Structure formats: C-alpha cells, structure tokens
Structure 1
Amino acid sequence: MIKSAAVAAIGLFALAGPAAAQPPGPPAGMGPMGGMHAMHGMADPAAMKANMAEHMAQMDRDMHTILRLRPEQETAWRAFRDAMHPMDMPATMTPAPKGPQTTPQRLDAMNRMAAERQARHAKTEAATRAFYAALSTEQQAVFDALHRMHGPGMMKHGGAGGGGPHP
C-alpha cells in the first residue's frame, strides 16, 4: 500500500512538474498587444508613453529648479525642450526595404538618413543656442556645468540619438 502511494505521488509530481514550469500569463488589464509585448520582454507601449510623459514633466520641473528659469525665459525654454523631445526622433530601427537594393539605392537611402540627421541636428543646435542666449551669465554657468558633468551626450535620451534635456 505504501509502495502504491509512493508511485502515485511520483506520478502526480511528474504530471504537475511541466504545468508548474509554465510562465505566468500577461497581467490582467493588458490590451491585445500588451500581452504580446510582455511575451517579448517589452513594456506596454501605452504605459511606456505615460512613463515617458511623466519623466519629461519631472525633468522640466527639475530644469526650472536647477536653472531658476524666469517667466521671460519660458518661450526659449519651451523651444529648447521641444527640439530635444525624444518623441520627435525616429525609431532606432528602420524597416528593411522590400526586395534587394542596388548599391546606388542603398547609397541614396544612406544620404537621405544623413540629411534627416543633419536637419534634426540643425534644429536642436538653433534651439540650444537661442535658449543659451536667453540665460543669464549665472544660468549659463550652471547649464555649462550640467553639460560637463554628463558629457557631450547630456542632451540625448534614448537610443535614437534623440533626447530631452537630461540634467
């Protein structure tokens, strides 16, 4: 009798083992794509967007505190912040072209991408120069110190070379 109980227990453990090893399903309340994103280790895009908006709002408040921005500097600040906004930047991965491309086609695509990057750079440079010019000497010193503390990539946020002001 003890032998048959032991065999039965081993059988139950053998059957229960694979079921216990299954990963949990997506959390409740996730949309149809949310579950798919979770399966691939990615966060829900809506949650990511909300988190990014919250993060950007906090950085906005922090920069106002750190630089002690005055009301008359707000327009220049907004232009600077909007030029640096990561949502304006393209995705890091572009879709592969349909079908094979010739070398001249690939070169044309690279030139278009380089021109887009240059246009984004010109936009951020102009906004940065205008914002910097609107700062007092003391604020410029703080802005410069922030840049030195974080290096030349201070204004970048994310992998696409885009970014928000990242003190």
Structure 2
Amino acid sequence: MIRYAALAAICLLAGPAAAQPPGPPPGMGDMHAMHGAGDPAAMKAKMAEHMAQMDKDMHTILRLRPDQEAAWRAFRDAMHQQAMPPMGMAPPKPAMTTPQRLDEMDKRAAERQAHHAKMEAATRAFYADLAPEQQAVFDALHRMHGAGPMMGRKVMMMHGGPGGPSHD
C-alpha cells in the first residue's frame, strides 16, 4: 500500500514537469537574444548597423575621391532601397481568382524590374566614375560575393579593408 502511495505521489509531482515544453538547446537563448530574434525593431536596427559598416568598408576599399562622392551616394542609396517589403506576417489577402492572382504576380514582377533598372543605372554610373584600378577592385568584390553593400567582410579584409592588408 505504501508503495502505491509513493508511486502516486511521484506521478503527481512528475506530471507537471513532463508537461512543460522543452527549453531552447543550451546556448541558443543567448544567440537569439544577441541577434534580436523576435524583435523586429532590434532586427531592423541590427541590419541598419550592418549596412552602414558595409558601406564604410566598401568606401575604404575603393579609396573614393571627393569628386566621386555624388556617384557613390546614388549607388549606395539605390542598393539600400527595398525591392519588396520585408518578409514577415502578411495580412490575410481576400480570396482571389486565378486571373487576379496572376495580375498581382505581374504587378510585383514589374515593381521588382523597375527597382532592378534603378540599381543597374546607379551601378553603371558609379562604375563609370571609378578609376581603372578602382574598377578592378569593384569587379573582384562583385565576382566573389555579389553586388552592393551586402558583400562579406572576409572579402573586404582580403582587399585591404578594415582588418586586412594595407596597400599604402
């Protein structure tokens, strides 16, 4: 009888503990907090900080002259514009017919194409304003990690950016 009472007590005490959802893996809670996961304002601020650093690094690597600043700003601004709104919880859409959905997709594709055309024009104007040695660096950066200020810090360091070898 005492055995059954002890077993019942253990089950009663263990039940609520077993019903708890598992916690994050060790160390993951800190990582999510560090990156602002779950907080859109923190994530936006972190992205803005990252973009500003990438802009600064690219400016340093290319060794832009004062007469190139206007073209640089136009290029940078074009790269920073959002082609599409940030992903997230979209508001529910009303039920659409297939032709309506196709029209909506065409509209979004046209918006993306217009954004791409602005980025291309700004890139061409900026590139034309660079000296041949700056063009070579710009080409190398874009070949390795794509266009714009989102390129990786490692590439910046390899080409004389902050933390990398100096070309002075």
Q: Which category of TM-score, normalised to the shorter sequence, fits these structures?
A: 0.5 to 0.7
Please report the TM-score for the alignment, with normalisation by the length of structure 1: 0.67
Pair 1:99 & 2:99 matched:
no
CA distance in 2, matches of 1:15, 1:138: 70
> For residue 165 of structure 1, what is the aligned residue in structure 2?
149
Matched, 1:74 2:69: yes
C-alpha displacement at 1:8, in angstroms? Answer: 7.2
User: Which residue pairs with 1:14 in the alignment?
Assistant: 14
Matched to 1:89, the amino acid is M
Contact 2:74 2:122 in 1 (8 A): yes
Amino acid at match of 1:10: I
Once the two structures are TM-superposed, the CA of residue 88 in structure 1 deviates from its matched residue by 5.3
Q: Which residue of 2 aligns with 1:83?
A: 78
Alignment of structure 1 residues 143-162 onto 2, 5 Å: 143-150=138-145, 154-155=146-147
Residues 109 and 21 of structure 1, relative CA distance in 2, 3 Å threshold: closer
Structure 1 residues 108 and 143: CA distance shift in structure 2, 3 A? same
Alignment-mate amino acid for residue 149 of structure 2: P
Q: 1:57 to 1:3 in 2, by over 3 A?
A: same
Question: Alignment identity in percent?
Answer: 67
**Cα distance change on mapping 1:4 and 1:90 into 2, 3 Å:** closer
Q: Which amino acid aligns with 1:135?
A: L
- SS of the residue corresponding to residue 165 of structure 1 reads helix
User: For residues 66-89 of structure 1, what are the alpha-carbon distances to aligned partners after superposition, in whole Å with 9 as ceiling and x for unaligned?
Assistant: 111122212111111111115453
Aligned-pair Cα RMSD in Å: 3.1
Verify: 1:119 aligned to 2:103, yes or no.
no
Over residues 79-121 of structure 1, what are the superposed CA-to-partner deviations in whole Å (9 max), with x where a residue is unaligned?
1111111545333576564123252x33322321221111101
Runs of 5+ consecutive residues of structure 2 not aligned to the other structure: 25-32, 152-168
Runs of 4+ in structure 1 over 6 Å off: none
Unaligned runs of 5+ in 1: 25-37, 156-163
1:161 is aligned to: none
1:165 is aligned with what amino acid? Answer: P
TM-score (norm 2): 0.67
- How has the CA–CA distance of structure 1 residues 69 and 99 changed in structure 2, closer, same or farther, with 3 Å as cutoff? same
